[in-house]
Structure 1
Amino acid sequence: MDLAAVVNEVAEPRVALMGHYIGTPAAVIAMLNEPERYTHLMLHLPIPMGGERSGMSQHSEINDLIDGTVENLLRLGWQHHDEAARRALLTMIAPTADEHTLRDLSQTMHHYPSMNRLFGLVREMRDLDLRDQLRDVEIPTLISIPYEGEGTEAGYSSTSREWARIIRGARLVVAQDDTPVLVDGAPIITQIAEALEEFIGVEQSIETAGQATRTILFTDIEGSTSLVDRLGDTRARSITREIEQLTLSAIREHDGVQVKTMGDGVLAWFGAASAAVETAVQVQHGLANHERYSDVFVRIGISAGEPIAESDDLYGTTVNQAARIMSIARGGEILVSDLVRGLLQGRGFSFEDQGRHELRGFRESVQLFKVDWRAEASTPAATEGSET
């Protein structure tokens, strides 16, 4: 039964669609053929295809050697029942997987109907190049990849990141498990399921963002471009991911809604100004309390108003103002608009007047205030009993 037949059997008029590795091109093509049938697109570990493969290594013969090694191990392990070959390949796929996960991987691969058919399918998918078609994807898209580990420069990860850049508004999630194959019992299954559930829930909740006054939070890693030069590519990428996860965790803890991540920053909205500022304070404390981030600084801008919700994004004056305020802030600072400061009067936060500033794209200057997040008054405990 093909994908279209399966979708036609579903009672819901529109469904979410997921593709895994060699199934990612089929998922993209199916969605583009019938975009009205799908609400969300999730792609786990997109397979390197066409011209993308040439960018995986400076030497194409290395790719050919790797492919040949994998193919030989597959044949030996699952067609000729060579346990050593199975173990060697599984260790390549998931170097830190436990015995239970390795057994499941082995069983999953053992039940492939035909290794020759599998090899042919992989080669066929790799000959495709969908980068032009990816620009036509308009539904909310989530791309997930397994954890690569320190010092790893996987071609598969490069493909995933390129797809995330090409697809408008796509979000990239890095799991904390390095098992790329989605097998029962592997921790990555739970992590990807949670990411998908949150993703679909967030997309639905964004639709309500423009219905009332909201507080918008923008974060940015100061000097992210020069971060690679200072720290090296591996450490810079690792730290960027860690800061993103720290920020998203703080947003969730304060009932915020993540709108999108931008590699070196995050956009989110909150129903209460206090929740937005408490999130910002938690992020700054989280960074300041770890020596690992001693030379990395995040700047945060916060504004309030009525944003415009469209598809999977927020637009309008309020969002633009938060972005401009963030651009004025220095690393380690939280700047808020006068409206946000007014909403928090008597809530126990400490502010420093920064005067009026000209914001690009705005006719009138805006009064800005810096949150003194290091002050005792800016901690949640200090707000008790201080509300008016």
Structure 2
Amino acid sequence: MTPPEVKYLSTADGSIAYQSFGAGTGCLVVVPGLLTHIEAVWSRPEPSRLFLALARFTRVVLLDKRGIGLSDPSPITPNDLTQGRARDLASLMDALGLERAAFMGIAGGGSAVLSFASANPGRVDALVLYASWAHTSVPGYPDGVPAPVQEKYLRLLAQRWGNDANPAWLEAIAPALAQDADYRLWLAHAQRLAASPARACALSAASAQVDLRDILPAIQARTLVMHASGDQVVPVDYSRELAARIPGARYVELQSRDHFPHTTENCSEIAGAIQEFLTGKAPGEAAHRRVATIVVADVADSTRTLAELGNQRWADVLEQLHAGLREQVRHHGGEVVDTAGDGILAVFEGPRQAVRCAEAMLRYVRTLDLEARAGVHTGEVEVRGGQVMGLAVHTAARIAALAGCGEVLASRTIKDLLAGSPLAFTQRGTHSLRGVPDRWELYRVRELD
């Protein structure tokens, strides 16, 4: 598949690389573990399996944490790995216009997620922790892994990190793939892209010093904890402790020896458990299809505006923006599907009220000294568990992306359905829409004076 676009968030501590993809209501922010490079993930089918499965029912935001992968280097201390990364998550949510989201922490990413949830309980819908830990204490080592054991581990990590012949963790990460030469080379390449051996060791050493046990009883978000029983990288006792200390946490132990969730034969089970936990709907539950008109609208040139206003002022503007857009959709008889980012996705029973709403939304945005654009299309959508998805949704989004500032752009379908209405359609050419079959005639649409 075509990898999702990499975008950058500028913070006081450097730039954070992230990708946003998927459909449906809600948003899941995924914070991966030590080995992370969000472009390398998409170069083999195994690493992307879990993310693709999650993207079928929710929007996914995947990032390279500060200090690794495509994100800028940063200091390496337990505080940077917890509170520093938690601040990055807050800045990312502000930039994307997310008031609340669900969070998934994988392995070392769990410490950032737990720190964020502790500091920002009102912004967390739910937590998913996979092979994570609050402290590296295990039976026999109540105060954490002893220094000699840690030093031996770090020496081995430095020797094997990025080694084509025998990359770090090969046998432990995915025992079933340990003899796969192509996977071995991919793993070594991904490690080299993620960090140097010295940086990987420094990050691993700092992770071992993290101690978040005191905050666990105060975690308010509903939490799902998952771990493979035979994990040879992160002891399963770490997750058992998390589940025991976080109030009301649900614990799922998988019968597997794999450390990475995407390499295990349980990948579908993992994605299904997350879907049911977040949406209340198990995979495969009945969906129904209907014809609807979709409106996608967003702020034009929002990156420049964000740079001018700064993160906090932009977050305030987005809050006002979303409230006003929701009111316009309600007034015109539509249903809001998503308000992630700097725009909105809404569905309507018919094209007439959809176009009127799109124009009203653009007028409202101008009252905020901003400009917006909108795309409108009618087609069949799938409704499952309160989520709206399908090719028609993607088509409307691609049309919106081609619209100019202050413009409502519509498909030929809309023009044909509204023949004879008091609307003016101006042809804007025939276009290829990324990821959508065929070529599409597009029209600027506006009310007749």
- Give the TM bin, normalised by the shorter chain: 0.3 to 0.5
More strand by share: 2
Could you tell me the TM-score, scaled by structure 1's length? 0.44
Could you tell me the TM-score, scaled by structure 2's length? 0.38
More helix by share: 1
